[in-house]
């Protein structure tokens, strides 16, 4: 039996309503005690002095691409979960755009076996909505649920057929699985490569309009309301989508939503301009779907996150090899690597006064857990909190630490980030997953 006693940290646990100095004691992978001076009575423990640090439940990511099986040159379960640990994440939900896609019990079980063998943090697979993610035939949802999936998604390929999506949502009500949709109407984004706006016009690139997202958000909210299903909107990126989600929730629809750190903090100008706004570039590391939008969208997303209209921050960690990005813009793969920069980038909202630190932590811990009711699944009771008996998942954070993003030091195989060379304020000092120390920086060693 192993024991870790974390002393003198500023514990922020939104699920408990706790925001103050306390000790956290983890015994045999579970939280045993939490409160002032609780660690003093513990003997034979590994002791961590968290003075000056924030102690949070481990982060939970509803949207991660681990690429394995089939695309191990981009990422593996081992490298992806190491990146997650460095980012403070102790539970990640793995998207099914693998090869083969996660559309069968065998495919799901293969991911779980590899996670058992090599993952540093908890991996929860997401199954496909349709077979092969081809949008033609529904996947066997009952089989996938029994295999261990926590949600259904065709990920970057939206289910464009409205009738098929209606049946997928209706089918899901039998199994209690959220259906997570990438909301971009395929006919409106065909051959588009970035946000449809003045930057795309200047660069001569075909755009992906905000209306493409809002059209599918509206359609799928209507379908989910019709059949009483749980619809989850992936990576919301527009002010119009926020308004649709808010109205649906006001009507009592079972609609949840996530937003990424990059859609909260970066605009479409990242694609074109260096810091001087003179030298024009075609930055493929800022190419992502849905695309980076405009300042007004960022403001609406931040307000929605603060007010709880958006339930969770999700990374949409999408690692690519350099050969996928170091090409012409229209040929480049879409996606950013984000697990290791998520907290530091999201902290921009806190430092700008747009959201409080406890609220930000809520959207990265118990918020995603409640959105998908993950803590109701076997073995996940106590996920997203530090309550006694909860899973021993902890992130130690320094909200004021400055650090410079260097993709060469990433644990992820994906170095595709537009943040290279930039200074972020907010550092994950250490991560404990299931009672094991899986990440620590020199900052913690020095304590």
pLDDT > 70: what percent of the chain? Answer: 98
Structural domains of the chain ordered from first start? 3-54+391-445 (2.30.40.10), 58-376 (3.20.20.140)
198-212 pLDDT, tens digit each: 999 999 999 999 999
Place 277 in a pLDDT band, splitting at 50, 70 and 90: low
Residue 200 makes CB contacts below 8 A (sequence gap 6+) with 193, 194, 206, 207, 268
What's the pLDDT at 44? 85
What local confidence, expressed as pLDDT, does residue 40 receive?
81
If residue 62 lies in a helix (H) or strand (E), which one and from where to where? strand 59-64
Q: Is 146 among the catalytic positions? A: no
Supply 367's token pair: 């918020």
Q: Which of 362, 420, 395, 418 is nearest to 88 (CA)?
A: 395
Residue 225 has pLDDT above 80, yes or no: yes
> What letters, b where the CB count within 10 A reaches 16 and e where it falls short, cover 219-258?
bbbebbbeeebbbbbbbbbbbbbbebbbebbeeebebbbb
Whole-number pLDDT of residue 276: 57
Kindly tell me if the per-residue pLDDT of 446 is higher than 60. Answer: no
Indicate the average pLDDT of the chain. 96
Catalytic position from the list 103, 316, 375, 393: 316
Res 361 pLDDT > 70: yes
**Maximum Cα–Cα distance for the chain, whole Å?**
66
pLDDT one-digit tens code per residue, 234-256: 999 999 999 999 999 999 999 99
Tens of pLDDT, residues 401-430: 999 999 999 999 999 999 999 999 999 999
pLDDT number for residue 445: 57
pLDDT at 280 over 90: no
pLDDT (0 to 100) of residue 274: 63
- What is the average per-residue pLDDT within 244-273? 96
pLDDT at res. 278: 63
pLDDT in tens, 129-164: 999 999 999 999 999 999 999 999 999 999 999 999
Q: What's residue 43's pLDDT?
A: 80
Q: What is the pLDDT of residues 315-355, one digit of tens each?
A: 999 999 999 999 999 999 999 999 999 999 999 999 999 99
Query: What confidence tens digit (pLDDT) does each residue in 80-109 have?
Result: 999 999 999 999 999 999 999 999 999 999
Cα distance between residue 62 and residue 77, in whole Å: 16
Q: What pLDDT does 1 receive?
A: 62
Under the banding of pLDDT at 50, 70 and 90, the label for residue 169 is very high
């Amino acid at each position: 039996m192993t024991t870790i006693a974390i002393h003198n940290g500023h514990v922020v646990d939104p699920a408990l309503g706790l925001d103050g100095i306390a000790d956290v004691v983890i015994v045999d992978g579970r939280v045993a005690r939490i409160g002032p001076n609780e660690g003093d009575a513990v003997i034979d423990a590994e002791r961590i002095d968290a003075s000056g640090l924030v102690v949070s439940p481990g982060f939970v990511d509803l949207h991660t691409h681990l690429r394995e099986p089939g695309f191990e040159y981009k990422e593996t379960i081992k490298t992806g979960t190491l990146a997650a640990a460095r980012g403070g994440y102790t539970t990640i939900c793995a998207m099914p755009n693998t090869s083969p896609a996660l559309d069968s019990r065998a495919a799901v079980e293969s991911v779980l076996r590899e996670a058992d063998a090599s993952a540093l943090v908890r991996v929860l697979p997401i199954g496909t909505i349709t077979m092969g993610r081809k949008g033609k035939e529904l996947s066997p949802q009952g089989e996938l649920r029994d295999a261990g999936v926590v949600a259904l998604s065709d990920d970057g390929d939206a289910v464009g057929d409205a009738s098929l999506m209606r049946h997928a949502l209706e089918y899901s009500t039998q199994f209690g699985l959220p259906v997570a949709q990438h909301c971009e109407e395929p006919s409106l984004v065909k051959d588009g490569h970035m946000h449809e706006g003045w930057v795309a016009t200047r660069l001569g690139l075909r755009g992906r309009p905000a209306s493409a997202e809002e059209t599918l958000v509206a359609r799928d909210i209507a379908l989910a309301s019709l059949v009483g299903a749980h619809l989850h909107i992936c990576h919301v990126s527009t002010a119009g989508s926020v308004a649709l989600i808010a109205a649906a929730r006001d009507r009592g629809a079972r609609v949840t939503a996530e937003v990424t750190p990059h859609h909260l903090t970066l605009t479409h100008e990242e694609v074109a301009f260096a810091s001087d706004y003179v030298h024009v570039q075609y930055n493929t590391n800022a190419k992502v779907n849905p695309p980076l939008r405009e300042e007004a969208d960022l403001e609406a997303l931040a307000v929605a996150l603060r007010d709880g209209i958006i339930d969770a921050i999700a990374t949409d960690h999408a690692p690519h090899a350099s050969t996928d990005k170091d090409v012409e813009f229209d040929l480049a793969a879409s996606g950013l690597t984000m697990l290791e920069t998520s907290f530091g980038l999201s902290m921009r909202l806190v430092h700008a006064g747009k959201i409080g630190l406890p609220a930000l932590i809520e959207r990265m811990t118990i918020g995603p857990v409640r959105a998908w009711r993950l803590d109701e699944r076997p073995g996940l009771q106590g996920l997203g909190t530090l309550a006694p008996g909860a899973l021993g998942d902890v992130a130690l954070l320094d909200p004021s630490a400055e650090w410079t993003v260097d993709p060469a030091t990433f644990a992820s195989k994906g170095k595709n980030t537009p943040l290279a060379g930039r200074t972020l304020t907010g550092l994950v000092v250490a991560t404990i997953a299931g009672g094991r120390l899986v990440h620590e920086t020199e900052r913690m060693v020095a304590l």
